[in-house]
Amino acid sequence: MKTILSILIMAVAMLASSNELTAKPKPCGTYNGRNLYKGEKGGCYYLKTKKKIKTYVDKKHCNCK
C-alpha cells in the first residue's frame, strides 16, 4: 500500500513540474510595443522572433515584480 501511494505521489509531482515548464509566461509590462516577461533571475525580456529568442532589456525598463 505504501509503495502504491509513493508511486502516485511521484507521478503527481512529475505532472505538476512538467506543466510549469510548458506553461506560457504572462506579460508584466511593455517595451517598444513588445510584451515584457520576467526572467529566471529577475531581469526582463521580450521574445524577439517566432523562435522565441529572449532579448533582455536594461533594468530601468523593467517593471516586472
Band of residue 24 on the pLDDT scale cut at 50, 70, 90: confident
User: CA geometry: angle at 29 spanning 24 and 32, to 5°?
Assistant: 110
Q: Give the tens place of pLDDT for each residue, 26-52.
A: 899 999 999 999 998 889 999 988 888
